Amino acid sequence: MTRIDLNDVINGIVEPPACDQTLCIKVISAVEGEAICSWEIDERFLNGHQVVMGGYITSAADITMAYSMASILENKQGFATINLQTTFLRPLYIGTAVIKSTIVKKGRKTCYVEATVSQNEQCIAKITSSVMVL
């Protein structure tokens, strides 16, 4: 398998990775450590309470944070999530969600990234992550 350069996805040169397609995540923009993605949510993502399962919300944020990272790395650099913490503020429903992520602190080996998931202009979840630069 060949590694997908997320900058090529951002620039529309290649198709997004399978995880993006499976979760129906689309990159709106990713520039200078900030990324915005849209997420089209349907019944496949609902739990028994008819709200989006938290693991999907966290995964969507992790994908968006990856685009934030890709937008700042130099050629041949990679990255890996070290940790990921999500705080849920309200339920997420079928419809469109917007995920925004920002690199808050960039170090040589580690970056600290924050994201929010929103629907109808209401914050649904806040996610933080430490990401290792490879």
pLDDT attached to residue 2: 63
Fold adopted by 6-133: Thiol Ester Dehydrase; Chain A (3.10.129)
The residue among 37, 46, 41 whose CA lies nearest residue 17 is 37
Q: What is the mean pLDDT of the chain?
A: 96
Token code pair at residue 25: 């995540």
Q: What one-character DSSP code corresponds to residue 106?
A: E
DSSP output for 55-97: HHHHHHHHHHHHHHHHTTPPTT--EEEEEEEEEE-S---SEEE
How do residues 60-104 score in pLDDT, each as one tens digit?
A: 999 999 999 999 998 889 999 999 999 999 999 999 999 999 999
The residue among 38, 55, 22, 23 whose CA lies nearest residue 117 is 38
The torsion angles phi and psi of 59, rounded to 5 degrees, stand at: -65, -40
Model confidence pTM above 0.85: yes
CA 40, 42, 47, 51 dihedral sign is positive
CB 42 within 8 A of CB 94: yes
HSE of 116, CA atoms in CB hemisphere, 13 A: 10
CA 85: distance to chain centroid?
13
Q: What one-character DSSP code corresponds to residue 129?
A: E
Give the bridge partners for 131, in sequence order: 81, 111
pLDDT attached to residue 67: 97
CB 117 within 8 A of CB 64: no
pLDDT attached to residue 74: 86
